[in-house]
Amino acid sequence: MTDKKAVVLLSGGLDSATILAQAKAAGFTCYSMGFDYGQRHRAELQAAERVARQLGVVEHKVIGLNLNGIGGSALTDSSIAVPESPTEGIPVTYVPARNTVFLSLALGWAEVLGAHDIFIGVNAVDYSGYPDCRPAFIEAFERVANLATREGVEGCGFRIQAPLQNLSKAQIVEIGVQHGVDYGLTVSCYQADDEGRACGKCESCRLRAAGFSAAGVPDPTRYR
């Protein structure tokens, strides 16, 4: 049997934990990758390590970046407040070029590993207006991946898999529960404290809570 390898972007949040479980259920041997990119808190990095252990990846790699060096986002610049009410347009929690950078590094590792699939938990239904979560972006990046790599030119190429793109948060929760995800290990809050407790007010917290409620699943989130 061919060993199907996949690199899974694992932030430690609800969506990325779900896609990791989906990839495992689809028969992939999974390698997860997270990023210490200068975000507001490290609780999500610790959550990603917990999820990686629970779901049994071969290796969990954390890459250090300095996206706070360019700023421009409430998630990387502490002088910009995280909004606690809905906003119009692209919110200040958008991190410039984040998914482009993350996918590029995952692509490099996938080529080294001989993995042809990269999973990312972007969502175009219950999402926060980020331009790099749209299906058009994922399709465009897959074309770039197959143009810009040796494997894309000489080998079997790459697939960028975003299985949650067209699902509601409730549907995502239901899938994760079916695959045994322990959502109590995850952290989604934009401004969680050092213990990983959520604020319950930011947009990520609101979307997460609404998803559990709509799915009829008890919310395991720890709130401060």
Note the pLDDT of residue 85.
82
- The answer to whether 103 is annotated as binding is no
- The answer to whether 29 is annotated as binding is no
- The answer to whether 9 is annotated as binding is no
Tell me the per-residue pLDDT of 163-193, one tens digit each, with 9 for 90 and over.
Answer: 999 999 999 999 999 999 999 999 999 999 9
- The answer to whether 78 is annotated as binding is no
Q: Taking 70 as the threshold, does the pLDDT of residue 127 lie above it?
A: no
Binned at pLDDT 50, 70 and 90, residue 1 comes out as very low
d(CA 223, CA 35): 24
d(CA 16, CA 169): 12
Q: If you ran DSSP here, which 8-state letter would residue 63 be given?
A: E
- The answer to whether 105 is annotated as binding is no
Pair 41, 181: CB distance under 8 Å: no
- The answer to whether 19 is annotated as binding is yes
Tell me the per-residue pLDDT of 131-154, one tens digit each, with 9 for 90 and over.
Answer: 999 999 999 999 999 999 999 999
Q: What is the pTM of this model?
A: 0.95
d(CA 205, CA 155): 42
- The answer to whether 15 is annotated as binding is yes
Every domain of the chain and the residues it spans: 5-215
Note the pLDDT of residue 2.
52
- The answer to whether 128 is annotated as binding is no
Q: Decide if domain 5-215 falls under CATH 3.40.50.620.
A: yes
- The answer to whether 202 is annotated as binding is yes
H helices present in the chain, as ranges:
14-25, 43-55, 98-113, 135-147, 150-154, 169-178, 203-215
Cα–Cα distance list, 160 to 102, 131, 185, 197 (Å): 12, 17, 26, 32
Binned at pLDDT 50, 70 and 90, residue 128 comes out as low
